[in-house]
């Protein structure tokens, strides 16, 4: 399994635990802060499920480069960093916008939204050309060996 897939999957497992702990804490009125419900659902669906799908698809889909490193797998790593920085920014900024009217939290929340959309665009750039039939795959391999 390539490093990028391992990183996605381990981060996903971490979010899975965080999401369930947050879900558990919702049951205790003593522990309360704004936006707990949307954060719970997004940690679960984006932090865990989507992240696992991203990691496994980058590993299993045909046409991946065997070379490790940021340059060789730039779109995958960009996806990872933007998705997770966007999600972490959201976890911090969304409750803070309810506590404070400072501009910085608003800017951070907007930044988190933009980062997550760019992350998904990078994931599509990485994966779209790898959705290939067997015929296309063979053709691509032949072209590569010719080069």
Partner 1 sequence: MPAPSRWMIRCSLIYLLTGFLIGALMLISKVQPTFAWVWALLPIHIEILIFGWIIQFTMGTAYWIFPRFLEDKSRGNITLANNMVMILNSGIIINILTYLHFFSYRFTILGRSLEVLAVILFVILHWKRAVSYRG
Contacts with partner 1, residue ranges (CB under 8 A): 45, 49-50, 53, 57, 60, 62, 90, 94, 97, 105-106, 109-110, 112-114, 116-117, 120-121, 123-124, 127-128, 131-134
Q: Which is nearer to partner 1, 133 or 143 (CB)?
A: 133
Q: Which is nearer to partner 1, 29 or 103 (CB)?
A: 103
**What is the closest distance, in whole angstroms, from the C-beta atom of residue 110 to partner 1 in the complex?**
5
Q: Which of 49, 117, 44, 116 is nearest to 87 (CA)?
A: 116
Dihedral sign, CA of 115, 117, 119, 121? Answer: negative
**What is the closest distance, in whole angstroms, from the C-beta atom of residue 145 to partner 1 in the complex?**
21
Q: Which is nearer to partner 1, 28 or 128 (CB)?
A: 128
């Amino acid at each position: 399994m390539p490093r990028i897939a391992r990183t996605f999957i381990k981060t996903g497992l971490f979010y899975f635990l965080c999401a369930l702990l947050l879900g558990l804490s919702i049951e205790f009125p003593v522990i309360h802060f704004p936006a707990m419900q949307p954060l719970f659902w997004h940690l679960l669906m984006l932090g865990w499920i989507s992240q696992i799908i991203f990691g496994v698809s980058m590993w299993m889909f045909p046409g991946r480069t065997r070379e490790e490193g940021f340059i060789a797998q730039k779109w995958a790593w960009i996806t990872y960093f933007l998705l997770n920085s966007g999600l972490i920014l959201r976890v911090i900024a969304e409750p803070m916008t309810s506590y404070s009217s400072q501009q910085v939290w608003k800017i951070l929340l907007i930044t988190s939204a933009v980062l997550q959309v760019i992350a998904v665009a990078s994931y599509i750039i990485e994966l779209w050309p790898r959705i290939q039939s067997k015929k296309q795959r063979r053709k691509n391999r032949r072209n590569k060996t010719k080069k």
